Amino acid sequence: MNNQLYIKEIQTLFDDVQRTKIFEDQKMMTDAVPLFPIAEINAKYAQEKSNAGFDLKAFVMAHFHFLGAKVSIQREDHLPIKEHIEKLWDELTRTAYEEKGTLLKLPKPYIVPGGRFNEFFYWDSYFIMLGLQVSGRVEMMENIVENCSYLIQHVGFVPNASRTHFLSRSQPPYFSLMLDLLFETTKEENIYIQYHATLEKEYAFWMNGEEGMEAGSEVKRVVRTTDGDILNRYYDEENAPRPESYLIDIEDQESASGEEFYRNIRSACESGWDFSSRWFADGEHIQTIETLNLAQVDLNCLLWHLEMTLAKSSLLQGLSEKGDYFTERAARRRQMINKYFWDEKTKIYKDYQIKKNTKTPSEHIAALYPLFLGLADQEQAKAVADALVEKFLYQGGLVTTTKKSGQQWDLPNAWAPYQWLGYKAMRDYGFNDVAEKIKNNWCSNVERVYKNTGKLMEKYNALDTETIAGGGEYPNQDGFGWTNGVYLKLQQN
């Protein structure tokens, strides 16, 4: 029996399960593994569901296997935090050598974030790799790169996570940065040549549709501005409720303004920031989400890095024409990043609203990307450093936005990736005091929560360091891949 499950194959049953909330977490049903052929389950369901006394949950439990949805790691002994993380690497390691339900197969072992997330996630894996580097787990770093390459070669891109219902979107393109990290660790320059074709294929995915675009138009992930410049945006191929948050999306859509609500929601998921006031037209309500109307500073900086890496991998092979092409594209994008994302009025980088030809009002921590990748000049970096200290840096770390909306990627939450981006950006531009403060504030928050709970969390409350972070569509998770990685990396520096 083919074990691969696409949710749409069980759509009627799936819809009923999600709408009746037989599971507390909507992700449960997306992760289920069918015990019988799909056609058989569907036929049986159609036949039995109208019977008197039919028990939907009993039917589902009899026909699907559930892989222990939540991984909570409790220890009798309270180990020192670094020892705990070393043990966690093994406990969060998974393999998927064959397809099971919606889980995609991967050639190598990998590390999952933890909690309810028991599959391979794209951008999480980069921050996990930072910690693996510190732990000397080079083979697992190589595994992650190899898994990403496998997905790019077989699917055309790295999906948001390794499940069939994520095959319509990616996540922030960190593959080229993973190669840099691996090179820094192994000093094997050959990896750029080895993965050159993979880099090209990922680039083609993000640039798909750019040929023949008119000024003032958008195709998939590509935007051509009214000035005729090429930028990129987050996008999802589908305009339907997300299976993993099915009922939430359906309910939110009922009072939504604007078209393609579901695609806007999904496109925000491609950014990794699900969800934030950053995406809302009114800055307050998810119903006004307009991800598709924005070109995002983080995505364009990451694609600049991908272009630069392609230039490098081309030149290493003596492909000078190709090298020149990508060098030129990167130089052009660098200019565009300055033109479209630097806000001279507020002295910070912002997203660009395509339809209005303006910067968005949202002040957010993705403004760090031009500094993290060395694209800002010293004056711009100084302004961003000042903004960090004034608006983003609290006693528990860097927050993601200056707005409290109840969404998890807003004030007061501090997320691991941005503590590393902030620390490295500040250090690279010589703002060492700010770098140390970011590191110390967040690490002491992580240590305090660990002391009180024995857990490493997905996110932290930066304002009230007495409580655990909240907000979002599900409770705060423990495990937690990128927190473990960034904590180890910061402690090493």
C-alpha span between 307 and 330 (Å, rounded): 5
Taking the CB of residue 23, how many other CB atoms lie within 10 A of it?
A: 16
Q: Is 210 a catalytic residue?
A: no
State the angle between helix axes of 196-207 and 297-316 in degrees (0 to 180), rounded to the nearest 10: 140
Give the distance from CA 435 to its chain's centroid: 24
What is the spatial distance between Cα 113 and Cα 95, in angstroms, rounded to a whole number?
A: 14
Which two structure tokens, joined as six digits, stand for 132? 């693996």
Number of H helices, E strands in the chain: 19, 16
348 vs 388: CA distance, rounded Å: 10
C-alpha closest to that of 236 among 280, 276, 291, 279: 291
Query: For tokens 């055309």, what's the residue?
Result: 156
Q: Count Cβ neighbours within 10 Å for each residue of 464-481 and write b for 16 or more, e otherwise.
A: ebeebbebbbbebbbbbb
Q: Is 216 exposed, middle or buried (0-12, 13-18, 19+ CB in 10 A)?
A: middle
Contacts of 365 (CB under 8 A, 6+ apart): 392, 398, 399, 400, 401, 418, 421, 422
Does residue 458 carry a catalytic annotation? Answer: yes
Beta strands in 286-412 (DSSP E): 294-295, 342-343, 348-349, 352-353, 358-359, 393-394, 397-398
Task: Report how far residue 326's alpha carbon sits from residue 475's, in angstroms, rounded to the nearest whole number.
Answer: 43
Question: Among residues 471, 319, 296, which one has the least CA distance to residue 370?
Answer: 296
- Sign, CA dihedral 24-112-418-153, equals negative
Instruction: Give me the catalytic one of 244, 274, 410, 478.
Output: 274
Among 167, 116, 175, residue whose Cα is nearest residue 145: 175
The first and second tokens of residue 202, run together, are: 């990922």
Among all chains, which residue has been given the structure tokens 């004056």? 379
User: Which one is catalytic: 307, 410, 458, 478?
Assistant: 458
Q: Are 155 and 167 contacting, i.e. CB atoms less than 8 angstroms apart?
A: yes
Separation of alpha carbons 385 and 422, rounded Å = 9
CA distances from 328 to 176, 230, 302, 321 (A): 18, 13, 16, 11
Q: Which residues are catalytic?
A: 274, 458
